């Protein structure tokens, strides 16, 4: 295969852009890791405006959502279906919904805006269907609601289903900008300050955020 100068420039630019994006993303996670380790956990009842860290359980949501796959009431869900074909895969369904939730730590209640938060969550439900594993009637019904089907021209499509949810009673770690609004402390991301919400432990979250940056540092990239 022959490449002219223009083609080489385009390819090099694409690789360079991807590399810069990877470094920037890893650096942002490194900064977040530093904030996680440097910020102490506060009690909700004593919080004031500023960059704060809390831990507690979801007490309620502003609206009631129902997850597509498990059919559970929740305050947040993301549901994806990925189709595999040869060496490629593509998302054919990507559905995400959230509502304001309220976190209780035993001393008070804080409002958490989930829609713009950086969510670090474990997958709760997953399944697969394919050539030798037909989708269940329940999965087929879910696909139909999104205008999709597990059936191909000759064989079943190779599909992977994943759903992550946050329910009342789930324990969360929250780190980000807090502001008192009408007597309730509210966590919401602002420009230059992200809001991290996770169902992982603080130690696990710290390890996840700093691992990519450490790999780039060890490789001499940064």
Bridge partners, 83 (sequence order): 90, 159
Which candidate, 38, 78, 31, 56, places its Cα nearest to that of 173?
Answer: 56
CA atoms within 13 A on the CB side of 144: 7
Neighbour count for residue 105 (Cβ, 10 Å): 21
Kindly give the confidence (pLDDT) of every residue in the chain, 222 residues in length, as a single tens digit, with 9 standing for 90 and above.
444 444 445 544 544 555 554 454 454 555 666 677 667 889 999 999 999 999 999 999 999 999 999 999 999 999 999 999 877 899 999 999 999 999 999 999 999 999 989 999 999 999 999 998 999 999 999 999 999 999 988 899 999 999 999 999 999 999 999 999 999 999 999 988 899 999 998 887 777 655 554 444 454 444
The pLDDT, as a whole number, for residue 213 is 45
Q: Is the pTM of this model over 0.85?
A: no
Q: Are 142 and 69 in contact (CB under 8 A)?
A: yes
Alpha helices in 54-200 (DSSP H): 137-145
Q: Residue 166: exposed, middle, or buried by beta-carbon count in 10 A (0-12, 13-18, 19+)?
A: buried
């Amino acid at each position: 295969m022959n490449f002219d100068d223009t083609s080489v420039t385009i390819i090099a630019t694409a690789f360079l852009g991807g590399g810069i994006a990877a470094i920037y993303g890893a650096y942002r996670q490194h900064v977040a890791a530093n904030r996680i380790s440097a910020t102490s956990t506060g009690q909700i009842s004593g919080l004031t405006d500023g960059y704060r860290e809390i831990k507690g359980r979801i007490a309620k949501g502003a609206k009631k959502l129902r997850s597509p796959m498990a059919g559970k009431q929740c305050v947040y869900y993301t549901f994806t279906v990925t189709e595999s074909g040869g060496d490629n895969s593509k998302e054919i369904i990507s559905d995400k919904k959230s509502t304001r939730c309220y976190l209780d730590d035993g001393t008070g209640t804080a409002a958490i805006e989930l829609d713009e938060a950086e969510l670090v969550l474990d997958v709760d439900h997953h399944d697969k269907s394919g050539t030798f594993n037909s989708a269940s009637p329940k999965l087929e019904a879910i696909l139909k609601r999104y205008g999709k089907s597990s059936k191909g021209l000759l064989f079943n499509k190779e599909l992977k289903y994943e759903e992550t949810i946050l329910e009342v009673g789930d324990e969360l770690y929250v780190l980000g900008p807090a502001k008192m609004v009408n007597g309730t402390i509210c966590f919401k991301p602002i420009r230059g300050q992200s809001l991290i919400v996770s169902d992982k432990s603080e130690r696990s979250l710290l390890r996840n955020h700093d691992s990519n940056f450490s790999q780039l540092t060890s490789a001499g990239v940064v």
